[in-house]
A and B are shown apart, each in its own frame.
Chain A
Amino acid sequence: KNQVEQSPQSLIILEGKNCTLQCNYTVSPFSNLRWYKQDTGRGPVSLTIMTFSENTKSNGRYTATLDADTKQSSLHITASQLSDSASYICVVNNDMRFGAGTRLTVKP
């Protein structure tokens, strides 16, 4: 069983709408959690990184939250744009435990 689970697997929203992606993990001990954005056929690009003591971090329209007690993280995207269409991958710890990703499609 994967120690990093992401939901939903895929998501379709209309341009301008907000959305929230989920990441639950069972990895222990926990050091940090990253959210990456990956455009089709390209390498992942880091959006945020949070350590145990941080519970929220923003990068423009992207806001990540972390609850280390419940081992849950979310990535909130505000006022979505067509360019947000991509896969969003949750990665736990520096030894890179990957979630399977959420495929987001933003439609006009």
Chain B
Amino acid sequence: KAGVTQTPRYLIKTRGQQVTLSCSPISGHRSVSWYQQTPGQGLQFLFEYFSETQRNKGNFPGRFSGRQFSNSRSEMNVSTLELGDSALYLCASSPRTGLEQFFGPGTRLTVL
């Protein structure tokens, strides 16, 4: 069974731009969670989607948003990028909320 895939793997943007990251969960998994990982803050939870509905949300500003499609694929959008948004963005999927999550390889976002 294929694992979680994330695209793109690397991305360079400038301040003020917006970016969209994509995540395809493991087949049959309906829950997708997003995390931000930085050297200073470690792993931080952004939000979780299940059946196209946002179930949980971390403590991030409204510039960070997401959505989930009927095929469980998910996208995360960050608007008005700031230098501090430079991070590894990880997506994780699970069959449903509350079960073990499997991580994708991440998207490395650099904001210049």
Contacts and interface: CB of A to CB of B under 8 A. Distances in A.
Residue from B33, B98, B101 whose CB has the most chain A CB atoms within 10 Å: B101
A93 B45 CA distance: 13
B61 to A, nearest CB: 20
Interface in B81-109: 88, 90, 92, 97-106, 108
Contacts of A100: 42
Contacts of A45: 103
Interface string B4-37: 1000000000000000000000000000010100
B105 A43 contact: yes
A42 B100 contact: no
Interface string A28-62: 00000010100001111110010000000000000
A41 B104 CA distance: 11
Contacts of A89: 43
A88 interface: no
A49 B100 contact: yes
Interface residues of B, number: 22
A36 B37 CA distance: 14
B42 A41 contact: no
Nearest to B44: A98
Interface residues of A, number: 17
A27 interface: no
B80 interface: no
Interface of A: 34, 36, 41-46, 49, 89, 94-96, 98-101
25 contacts: A34-B100, A36-B103, A41-B88, A41-B108, A43-B4, A43-B90, A43-B92, A43-B103, A43-B104, A43-B105, A43-B106, A44-B43, A45-B103, A49-B100, A89-B43, A94-B98, A95-B56, A96-B35, A96-B43, A96-B45, A96-B101, A98-B42, A98-B44, A99-B42, A101-B42
What 4 A-B pairs come out closest when comparing CB atoms? A43-B103, A98-B43, A94-B98, A100-B42
